């Protein structure tokens, strides 16, 4: 995500200042992540662990759906379609909710957003499924599947954003 835009901060911008505060100005770099000098986990390291935990859960959820709804060649890829729309809705809601209203914790964005929703949804599978549909001669599906994914994905993302602004008690 581009740094400094409203409602997103998976980029490096926010991490630097927060880490410097946490480490009391005495910071060292470990594997590209700034760690506190006193040996405790720095904000950057905790953030990475939180992303990985959410990423593991999101990937497992997606793999479970993919196993439960196997994709037959030449058929609409329902599993990918479903997880992508679910994740786009939740992320639209989450990022707006956290950016524009009181955030319960700075970790939620990285656990649920960057980690879980990011891993639950997939761009690569959508594209490879589209390629396979095209290769096998299903021209209508090869155009309709990505087009519907984009149209419906934008619709649910916008709905999620609006839900976060309308909701007052959740």
What is the pattern of x (binds other proteins, CB under 8 A) and - over residues 9-48?
A: -xxxx-x----------------x---------------x
Q: 153: which DSSP letter?
A: H
The span from the CA of 35 to the CA of 20, in Å, is 9
CB distance 25 to 84 below 8 Å: no
Taking CB under 8 A as the criterion, the residue among 18, 52, 82, 163 binding other proteins is 52
CB atoms within 10 A of CB 124: 8
The span from the CA of 92 to the CA of 155, in Å, is 10
6 lies in the binding site for other proteins (CB under 8 A): yes
The span from the CA of 33 to the CA of 21, in Å, is 15
CB atoms within 10 A of CB 12: 10
CA distances from 134 to 57, 130, 138, 142, 146 (A): 32, 6, 5, 5, 11
Q: How far is the CB of 115 from other proteins (least distance, A)?
A: 5
Taking CB under 8 A as the criterion, the residue among 22, 23, 42, 114 binding other proteins is 114
Stretch that binds other proteins, among 19-27, 68-76, 100-108, 147-155 (CB under 8 A): 147-155
Q: How far is the CB of 55 from other proteins (least distance, A)?
A: 3
148 lies in the binding site for other proteins (CB under 8 A): no
163 lies in the binding site for other proteins (CB under 8 A): no
Taking CB under 8 A as the criterion, the residue among 130, 138, 141, 164 binding other proteins is 130
The span from the CA of 19 to the CA of 150, in Å, is 36
Residues near other proteins, by CB under 8 A: 1-3, 5-8, 10-13, 15, 32, 48, 51-60, 62-63, 66, 84, 87-88, 90-92, 95, 114-115, 117-128, 130-132, 134, 146, 149-150, 153-154, 156-158, 160-161
């Amino acid at each position: 995500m581009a740094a400094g835009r409203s409602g997103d901060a998976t980029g490096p911008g926010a991490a630097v200042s927060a880490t410097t505060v946490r480490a009391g100005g005495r910071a060292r770099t470990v594997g590209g992540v700034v760690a506190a000098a006193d040996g405790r986990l720095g904000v950057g390291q905790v953030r990475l662990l939180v992303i990985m935990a959410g990423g593991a859960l999101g990937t497992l959820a997606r793999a479970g759906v993919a196993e439960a709804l196997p994709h037959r060649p030449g058929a609409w890829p329902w599993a990918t379609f479903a997880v992508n729309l679910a994740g786009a809705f939740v992320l639209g809601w989450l990022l707006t909710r956290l950016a524009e209203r009181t955030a319960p914790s700075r970790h939620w964005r990285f656990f649920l957003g960057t980690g879980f929703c990011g891993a639950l949804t997939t761009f690569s599978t959508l594209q490879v499924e589209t390629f396979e549909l095209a290769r096998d001669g299903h021209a209508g599906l090869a155009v309709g599947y990505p087009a519907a994914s984009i149209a419906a994905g934008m619709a649910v993302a916008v709905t999620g954003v609006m839900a976060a602004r309308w909701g007052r008690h959740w």
